[in-house]
Chains A and B, each alone.
Chain A
């Protein structure tokens, strides 16, 4: 292919626009729509945070940096992966950069640190973080969540484990923090309501150099459900296999533990693991085909839940701007419009939002397999239109306390 100067310039303009706009804002009839990304690019959570940025940049590049006719100015902020940093950076984005909408943050404790702040400053936020109550008992009209609550996929896993896999006794293991509690609680509730028993719950600290003391305690169960996140699943699964449990006791996982982007870090120890996730890289939707191809081309990685979540967040922004037709600068109207968004083609399939701003969308059960040199998560069952309340009555669900370490209480511990 001949390289045309104009084409190169056009390409450069598109890919470099994010940086270029920061240095020299375009002077246009209508000021650009400011999209702030609150993510993590340094420290232990950087892996997911960098994928978030890659996801939204892929979307903006695909759209030539223009959403529904509005030029987009993209601003990226690095919270460092802690609540105080998230609060500071959210303030920078809102008060200094005056962004129209914030995408992010990554972690539940970051979201909890800024949810009141974005409400007080009337700035819409599209969250990837999973903290349940932000779209439940403490619902925030400025927040929508197109990814999932902590337990949304775990309810599904609990159902699949009892109804399809016929497991009756389970051990649960996850990090000793809110995201872990909420995931395990969701699994436990559905698993026990379907007649199963959770006989062991293990909570290793977030920083655990060696999981052997925990894996050694698992004992006689039909399955182990793990909710590890970040780099921990890699180490946990190797220990699980090393101690001879792989193949003997089936391992189930939440979405972060078997994220598609994590597969290249894993080896044979991950083969056979069954996971529940709101996204799968091998889904056959037009936008997912584009996302996977573009990410492979630009970053040489397979997108996972972090990238797809931000790509979908971008789609929501586009749909909301379209709907508001020139009035997208009104932040309150934008927040309302975001809530009304209903999309038929996203990388995870069709989505819409409930009145609390949380997504209703498909959840996929995948089994990890080896295809040639690569690991892939093959979708084996799709649960359509899963709500954060699963099949429970919404009002009853909200009357209960939020999922926690000891709620619902585990009656069958041994």
Chain B
């Protein structure tokens, strides 16, 4: 049942594994931060990704520059995320089940609002004009744009790493992740941190949506296709760990590409098998810490 692949195919798959991994990191970094700090599984994350992508479709349609579009879409989603956190999620602090229901409910609402506004038609914006070409490797083409997504993901990863590990805000976030009660005693406004992190996570999801739109396309249902991917990445990498999200994304990228090509019969489970292994052998994830 194993399918042979040629070396040229392997090269393409390997490059694509990194490219897809980059996009998955953009998607799941915010999810991981929110889950790590606030301990809520944000089931709206896929919806944020899709809504961000739809914003991108409209802005690009009005002729806005691609990079400005990605930033604007992220900004808009930060505002929406902030409002939801500040006025709704805030009231449910510490109540896991109501939080899950609230985020799931909003995911459905966002999906139906998108259907009303952008109709059911799939949209697929073009990548920026100067990034439309392809690079050639061993007689096969690889789209330049996907490599750009990878580069952007690496840049975002470095920026987040600096933010979390080298700034005062980052130190407060880490303190909040480790022990919110003691952090509060030390005078850190943890609830304010919650809002900031939630906005950041929402913005990253929307940004990823715009970056992914030129090759994933945007359509109803995209939200609940992306959400499980973010979940797997975070389970693999460990909650709250950016390094974990990065490594988890690339593992998933490789698993997806080589798994689909070499073990087509396992296409449905290949992504979930390692997740199962991790849950059994190392429930806190590869880079996660055991939270007391």
Using CB atoms and an 8 Å cutoff, list the residues of chain A in contact with chain B: 42-44, 46-50, 176, 202-205, 207-210, 212-214, 216-217, 230-231, 234-235, 238-239, 242-244, 261-262, 264-267
Q: Determine whether the beta carbon of B215 is less than 8 Å from that of A210.
A: yes
Using CB atoms and an 8 Å cutoff, list the residues of chain B in contact with chain A: 3, 5, 9, 12-13, 16, 20, 112, 115, 119-124, 126, 134, 136, 140-143, 145-146, 214-217, 219-221, 225-226, 229, 256-261, 264, 267-268
Interfacial chain A residues near B134, Cβ < 8 Å: 242-244
Name the 3 nearest CB pairs between A and B, nearest first.
A244-B141, A47-B120, A44-B221
Complex A-B: 26 CB contacts under 8 Å? A42-B112, A47-B119, A47-B121, A47-B122, A47-B220, A204-B267, A207-B221, A209-B216, A209-B225, A210-B216, A212-B12, A212-B16, A213-B13, A213-B256, A216-B5, A231-B221, A234-B122, A235-B122, A235-B216, A242-B145, A243-B12, A244-B140, A264-B121, A265-B122, A265-B124, A265-B217
Q: Determine whether the beta carbon of A214 is less than 8 Å from that of B260.
A: yes
Q: A213-B257, A235-B217 are in contact. Are A265 and B140 (CB under 8 A)?
A: no
A207 (CB) vs chain B CBs: closest residue: B225
Q: Determine whether the beta carbon of A265 is less than 8 Å from that of B121.
A: yes
Interfacial chain B residues near A242, Cβ < 8 Å: 134, 141, 143, 145-146, 215
Q: Determine whether the beta carbon of A216 is less than 8 Å from that of B256.
A: no
Q: A239-B215, A265-B123, A267-B126 are in contact. Are A216 and B220 (CB under 8 A)?
A: no
B132 (CB) vs chain A CBs: closest residue: A242
Give CA–CA (A79, B152) in the complex, Å.
41
Cross-chain contact of B221 among A43, A176, A203, A214 (Cβ < 8 A): A43
Interfacial chain B residues near A243, Cβ < 8 Å: 12, 134, 140-143
Shortest C-beta distance, A373 to chain B (Å), equals 13
Interfacial chain B residues near A42, Cβ < 8 Å: 112, 115
Interfacial chain A residues near B115, Cβ < 8 Å: 42, 46
Give CA–CA (A48, B122) in the complex, Å.
11
Q: Determine whether the beta carbon of B257 is less than 8 Å from that of A209.
A: no
Give CA–CA (A121, B59) in the complex, Å.
51
Give CA–CA (A50, B121) in the complex, Å.
10
Interfacial chain B residues near A49, Cβ < 8 Å: 120
B225 (CB) vs chain A CBs: closest residue: A207
Shortest C-beta distance, B177 to chain A (Å), equals 29
Cross-chain contact of A210 among B12, B16, B214, B267 (Cβ < 8 A): B16
Shortest C-beta distance, B46 to chain A (Å), equals 12
Give CA–CA (A214, B116) in the complex, Å.
33
Give CA–CA (A47, B260) in the complex, Å.
28
Interfacial chain B residues near A203, Cβ < 8 Å: 264, 267
B267 (CB) vs chain A CBs: closest residue: A205
Give CA–CA (A262, B123) in the complex, Å.
10
Shortest C-beta distance, B25 to chain A (Å), equals 14
Q: Taking each of A204, A209, A213, A230, which has the highest tally of chain B beta carbons within 10 Å of its own beta carbon? A: A213
Shortest C-beta distance, A82 to chain B (Å), equals 12
Shortest C-beta distance, A273 to chain B (Å), equals 15
Give CA–CA (A74, B196) in the complex, Å.
50
Cross-chain contact of A214 among B126, B145, B229, B261 (Cβ < 8 A): B261
Shortest C-beta distance, A335 to chain B (Å), equals 31
Give CA–CA (A242, B221) in the complex, Å.
23
Give CA–CA (A266, B134) in the complex, Å.
19
Shortest C-beta distance, A8 to chain B (Å), equals 26
Interfacial chain A residues near B145, Cβ < 8 Å: 242
A218 (CB) vs chain B CBs: closest residue: B9
Shortest C-beta distance, A362 to chain B (Å), equals 27
A202 (CB) vs chain B CBs: closest residue: B264
A235 (CB) vs chain B CBs: closest residue: B217
Give CA–CA (A213, B215) in the complex, Å.
14
Give CA–CA (A204, B115) in the complex, Å.
25
Shortest C-beta distance, A131 to chain B (Å), equals 22
Q: Taking each of B136, B146, B219, which has the highest tally of chain A beta carbons within 10 Å of its own beta carbon? A: B219
Q: Taking each of A205, A210, A212, A244, which has the highest tally of chain B beta carbons within 10 Å of its own beta carbon? A: A212
Q: A47-B121, A216-B12 are in contact. Are A231 and B217 (CB under 8 A)?
A: yes
Interfacial chain A residues near B123, Cβ < 8 Å: 265
Interfacial chain B residues near A216, Cβ < 8 Å: 5, 9, 12-13, 16, 140, 261
Interfacial chain A residues near B226, Cβ < 8 Å: 209
Give CA–CA (A46, B119) in the complex, Å.
9
Shortest C-beta distance, A136 to chain B (Å), equals 29
Cross-chain contact of B257 among A212, A235, A244 (Cβ < 8 A): A212
Interfacial chain A residues near B268, Cβ < 8 Å: 205
Q: Determine whether the beta carbon of A209 is less than 8 Å from that of B229.
A: yes
Q: Determine whether the beta carbon of B143 is less than 8 Å from that of A204.
A: no
